[in-house]
Amino acid sequence: MKIAGIFNSHDTSFCVFEDGRPLIHAEYERYLRLKEPIADSYKFMKEVVDVDDIDLWVTVSPKENILGDGGRNYIFDEFNKSNKKLSHVIGHHTAHAANAFFSSNIDESLIITIDGGGLEWGVPGDKPTTLGWYYGKDNKIETLEVHSEGGAYDAVAATNLGSLWTKYTADIFELSVGYPHGAQMGTVMAMAAYGDKHRYINEMMEGMYSFKDQFRPTCNKDLYDVAAGLQFFTEKCFKQHVEWGIKLFKDAKGYEPKYLCLAGGTVLNSVCTGKLWDWFDFKDIYIPVTPGDSGMPIGAVQYVWHHLLDNPRIKWEDNFTPYMGQVYTNDRIRSAIDSFKNKVIIKNVTDDDVIKLLLDQNIISVYGDGAESGRRALGNRSIIADPRFKEMKDMINEKVKHRQWFRPFAPSILREEVKNWFDKDIDSPYMQYVINFRKSIQDKIKAVVHDNGTGRLQTVTEKDNKWYYNFLKKWHKESGVPILLNTSFNDREPIVETPEDAIKCFLGTNIDALYFRNINVLIYKEMVDE
């Protein structure tokens, strides 16, 4: 049975599953080349896959926007004109919870969803909710509590963190939260490492929303201190959310949870999620590759397949990949290269040749197989570089990514080496957590160590990405470090999707070379010495 999930909001996306296993997940922003567009997901879907063999259609959009007279019915114009019929409309936080739990290999878990808000069925007055606590076991999910205005949960801890960060990012830091560059909360998170978290925290605790109206920066130091205070406040709330979830779980089941699954856009705050390992003693913490709204069609389909249709759990360690994007054939890649042949120099190379270029401090973009789902490049749509030299960070920020000097880059690391380079030995295949580097090795990889000694690591195994793992092994042998600098293959726009997008981005930046690793072809803007 094929089930399609369609979702229209600021993260318009769709997915198709067959018998509970993912076939494709695609995000419209990658194709439109504008971040966080709102569009007709069904119309978009028809451009990518055959829609005629879908057995069930599900969505997560608010009910009135689909079936009633809501003002956004137009978003589903294509679907409403077709002979298709929505079989299920899943609540916002339920979809998040399903994505978190069913994408894991955990049999029983506390599930927490945290975001800027969404409509959840059964909440009095149909008020948008920003927090949800759930119990997952086998193929079922049970609601423990969802929070809406007027609930019993602590008023400070129940602050809408998603909306708060949006407001602060736009109003205080004057960074775009819409077109063309999407939400830029990551910039504020990076600034927090340079500020005094205690300077404004009392004023913020007294009124986070009113503070932004009263605050007037007099220098850059003020902004860094606000960022640090906002992050500190967020961490306090995060900790309380989990503590409350543990209480709800224990009250309902009589024992404390051993595992935690998280989803919702706010869990992309990887500084918070990294600290969960210090605050709590869970056996494992799981965050899916798409915890934000673009992952909700995945959760909706999983909820229907497992919870509603009562199909048994599928071990995703054997069936799941984070590279759920569209796969482009080698012929398509060669055709794209050929269309730019008057602007590039083409060379047949090996992985060893690319490693030599990295050792010479070249910046290389990599394109291969299906695109990563979610916000983070994991080796198939990545820019990679030598992490040993601090100058590399400055060079990429200034000349490639065109962003602020303080923005950090992720370290991709061989999974078996994590314990030797970080203070925690954890899995982080999707860059879910920011944790501390060991102090003794920080000088060896200066380009990927943030100023507070942390890094948002991507752990790489052969099973995760065979090519990237073997490439890292070769890099480790040649460089002496099991880490590469990894950042998304883009320049302020969404991560590149097609091979044509890749070449255009490459030509528009100061990336030294583009490696189409599937066909072992490297392209340059100009000839380099042999």
Kindly report, residue by residue over 155-208, the tens digit of the pLDDT: 566 678 888 888 888 888 888 655 444 558 889 999 999 999 999 998 888 888
Q: Is the pLDDT of residue 69 over 50?
A: no
Section 278-300 average pLDDT? 96
pLDDT of residue 5: 96
In this structure, the number of other CB atoms found within 10 A of the CB of residue 17 comes to 24
Among residues 411, 367, 406, the alpha carbon closest in space to that of 385 is found at: 411
For range 363-372, the mean pLDDT? 96
Helix 330-339 crosses helix 499-507 at what angle (to 10 degrees)?
A: 40
Dihedral sign (CA 256, 261, 262, 268): positive
Could you tell me which residue, 105 or 317, shows the higher pLDDT?
105
pLDDT confidence of residue 123: 54
Q: Higher model confidence: residue 111 or residue 166?
A: 111
**Which range in 27-31, 160-164, 330-334 is most confidently predicted, on average pLDDT?**
330-334
| Out of 143-147, 367-371, 393-397, 479-483, least confident range | 143-147
pLDDT over threshold 50, residue 505: yes
pLDDT at 210: 82
Q: Residue 70 pLDDT > 60, yes or no? A: no
Superfamily of domain 330-524 in CATH is Carbamoyltransferase, C-terminal domain (3.90.870.20)
Residue listed under structure tokens 């709204």: 293
CA distance 348 to 53: 40
| Residue 75 pLDDT level (bands cut at 50, 70, 90) | low
Task: Give the pLDDT band of residue 71 (cuts 50, 70, 90).
Answer: very low
- H-type alpha helices, 340-428: 351-359, 390-395, 418-421
Half-sphere exposure of 360 (CA within 13 A, CB side): 13
pLDDT for 528 equals: 46
pLDDT at residue number 223: 93
Tens-place pLDDT, residues 247-272: 999 999 999 999 999 999 999 999 99
Query: For 95-109, what is each residue's pLDDT tens digit?
Result: 999 999 999 999 999
Domain range list for the chain: 2-89, 330-524
- What is the pLDDT confidence band of residue 529, given thresholds at 50, 70 and 90? very low
Torsion angle of C-alpha atoms 193, 476, 350, 399, degrees rounded to 10? 20
- The span from the CA of 340 to the CA of 363, in Å, is 20
The count of residues in the chain is 530
Percent pLDDT > 90 in the chain is 71
For residue 342, pLDDT over 70 is answered with yes
| pLDDT at residue 156, as a whole number | 60
Q: How far apart are CA 430 and CA 284, in angstroms?
A: 15
